[in-house]
Amino acid sequence: MASTNDLKNGMVLNLEGQLWSVVEFQHVKPGKGPAFVRTKIKNVLSGKTVDKTFNAGTKVDTATVDRRDMQYLYKDGTDFVFMDSETFDQVLVPEATVGDAARFMLENQDVIVAMHEGQVLYVDLPPSVVLEITYTEPGLQGDRSSAGNKPATLSTGAEIQVPLFVEPGTKVKVDTRSGAYLGRVND
């Protein structure tokens, strides 16, 4: 149990049997009336985000989430296989749980897997990853009709927008949260 005064971003709450992660919170002390805490919380399993208001000092049930460093090994059918970096135990994670993270995961990549009571909640990638462009159309000199961007396919199969000068075989840095191109990487 914790008080709403102790809330922090990333804290996981157990509300009515469901796990919710605190995305943002704000303590509000109006001129009249009692103080309260306005929060934006995200359902850990479904990803749905809602706004919820708590009275200040209210007790909320927190959930223990074990965040472990793991290495992505390979895809087995519809499951992804991860290995715990400390115990070397292998964990199968369903494709639905991995979600969008699969777009930017390469084999042998280090990730963080969040677990609660033995159940995998989600997979967290580093903020950015370096991937290779496997296919993109050649950029035409003077073509600015698409604001200087063109689609490119990454080594993971994901498609992102890159500047016209990027060629196949180029290694690029990609933001894993938005899928945005961050720049070229020189070896």
Domain 2-60, CATH 3.40.50.10320 — does that match?
Answer: no
CB crowding 130-147: b at 16 or more within 10 Å, else e: ebebeebeebeeeeeeee
Query: Which residues make Cβ contacts (< 8 Å) with residue 95, sequence separation at least 6?
Result: 78, 79, 80, 102
pTM, entire model: 0.70
What is d(CA 129, CA 178) in angstroms, rounded to the nearest whole number? Answer: 12
pLDDT digits (tens, 9 = 90+) for 47-99: 788 999 998 888 988 888 888 899 999 988 889 999 998 888 899 988 888 88
- What residue type is assigned to position 14 of the chain? N
The whole-number average pLDDT for the span 156-161 is: 88
Contact 134, 168 (CB under 8 A): yes
pLDDT of residue 72: 92
Domain range 66-124, CATH class = mainly beta
Classify domain 128-184 at the CATH class level: mainly beta
Domain locations in the chain? 2-60, 66-124, 128-184
Q: Which residues, other chains included, contact 6 with Cβ-Cβ below 8 Å and sequence gap of 6+?
A: none
Query: For position 3, what pLDDT does the model report?
Result: 86
147 pLDDT tier (thresholds 50, 70, 90): low
- Non-local CB neighbours of 38 within 8 Å, separated by 6+ positions: 25, 26, 28, 51, 53
128-184 has the same fold as 66-124:
yes
Give me the chain's average pLDDT, please.
86
